[in-house]
Amino acid sequence: MILSSLLLSSPLLAVDPEMCMGCHRPGSPVAPNLIGMPVDHFVAAMMAYKTGERPDPTMKALAMALNDADIAGLAAYFRALAD
Ligand code: HEC
């Protein structure tokens, strides 16, 4: 029980979020800040890159490499960084 709650509170992330921060650091002119982003906005944006509804080629390539669980994990991680 203790072990499972520890695992849940520190999800294994599919990619190193520092890689995302290379473009998305707060105040970056390159890309919007991700820290504190609402989970539903984050997930909807990533899905829109996957489908091509949002055309950015960099984000599409990154999004295509992530499955739903990966995206949910990153969304929760970036949201929680603001707390
Ligand atoms: C090479 C630079 C770069 C990297 C690395 C990068 N992004 Fe992005 N990201 C962008 C740009 C540029 C946009 C805005 C594109 C657009 O106009 O839709 C964006 C947009 C987004 C958005 C939508 C933001 C919004 O409010 O509309 C999300 C979510 C996102 N990125 C997540 C990520 C995640 C997660 C990672 C790491 C896996 C990542 N990005 C890595 C450049 C990058």
pTM equals: 0.90
Pocket of ligand 1 (CB under 6 A): 15, 19-20, 22-24, 30-32, 34, 42, 45-46, 54, 56, 58-59, 62, 74
Q: Which domains does the chain possess?
A: 11-80 (1.10.760.10)
Looking at the chain, how many residues does it have? 83
Q: Reduce the secondary structure of the chain to three states and give it as a string.
A: CHHHHHHHHCCCCCCCHHHHHHHHCCCCCCCCCCCCCCHHHHHHHHHHHHHCCCCCHHHHHHHHCCCHHHHHHHHHHHHHCCC
Ligand 1 atom index nearest CA of 46? 29
Reported as a single tens digit per residue, the pLDDT across 56-79 is: 999 999 999 999 999 999 999 999
Mean pLDDT, consecutive 10-residue segments, the chain of 83 residues?
47 86 95 97 98 97 96 96 89
- Residues 66, 46: Cα–Cα separation, whole Å: 9
